[in-house]
Amino acid sequence: MIRTDYVLFVHPLCLSSLRVIKYLYEKKLLDRVRIVSTTIGSKASPFLDRIIYSVPMILRGNSLLGVDPLEEEYVEAIINSDKAVIEKYLPKDVESAINRFKDSIRSSSYVSLAVLYDPNIVDLLIDSEFFYGAIRRYYLGEERVKEYRSLIKERKQDFIDSIVDGATRNVTYNYLRESFLANQDKDDKQLYEEIVDRSRFLLWFQTKISMGRAYTFPELLFNPKKLDGVVDKVMDLLEKKFDKYLEHVRHEYKVFMDNADFLKGLGLI
């Protein structure tokens, strides 16, 4: 019987999700956690209940235990209540807490978009569930969390400066990746012409950051040049890295196709 107190949110077209799922499968732990796909067609669509910042993401009840990047051994330790192993994957000081927070921002295309849209959103993120999941508050204890949060706020500008490039790379790659999935019948030249396009990117950006609710950010209507700097950076990076990123995207796609039967067997596609 599947335990329902642990819930692992995943996406079938996410390599990080696939790694964790396959690891749990090999460890015979899939019957100890409820796996929920974040795809729209999921029978247990989480969109009705909560924000899914990134995947994989693990909860116990309503408590967020971790967001991507999730180490497979950490998830195993959570399920087995192995406190010694869990401790190995918790931040030991403010620097490691900062790095975990950065890594989680860079691993989430949604949060990366938000940071590029308005870097000062970091103020809100530091007080959000996303931050608590990134630094694994559930196991840290309130005193350490309070200390880390305070020190990160003191270093806010340095923190922002250190994540913008990584967020730009993540956004650029995910834009290319999602555009490729919608245009698989085109050759590389056609893909380049379709994807390296400012207007197309802006449409994708606005749809993605608003989760499809385009007027969530009405200031774009009144200040359409707000994102010019972001678009310039993404287009420049796309032009330089298009072939390299596309090669990686094609490799990802092959991995998913190779694992299609496995994912279907779990009811995830």
Boundary (domain end) residue, out of 159, 191, 212: 159
Nearest Cα residue to 42 out of 65, 62, 74, 17: 17
Residue 42 pLDDT class (50, 70, 90 cuts): low
The answer on 176 and 122 residing in a single domain is no
pLDDT band, very low/low/confident/very high, at 224 (cuts 50, 70, 90):
low
| Contact between 49 and 62 (Cβ < 8 Å) | no
Tell me: the pLDDT tens digits for 153-168? 999 999 999 999 999 9
Closest CA to 110 of 252, 3, 216, 255: 216
Reply yes or no on whether the pLDDT at 217 is more than 60: no
| pLDDT given at position 1 | 47
Last residue of one domain, picked from the residues 50, 68, 88? 88
Please identify, among 47, 67, 88, the residue that sits at the C-terminal boundary of a domain: 88
110 and 155 together in one domain: yes
The CATH number given to whatever domain includes residue 83 is 3.40.30
CA distances to 70, 112, 215, 247 from 54, rounded to whole Å, are 11, 10, 22, 23
pLDDT of residue 212: 59
Spatial separation of the C-alpha atoms in residues 216 and 232, rounded to whole Å: 23
Closest among 24, 4, 127 to 70, alpha carbons compared: 24
Residue 259 resides in a domain: no
Tens of pLDDT, residues 63-109: 999 999 999 999 999 999 999 999 999 999 999 999 999 999 999 99
Residue 185 has pLDDT above 60, yes or no: yes
Structural domains of the chain, count: 3
**Global pTM value:** 0.89
Domain containing 155: what range?
A: 94-159
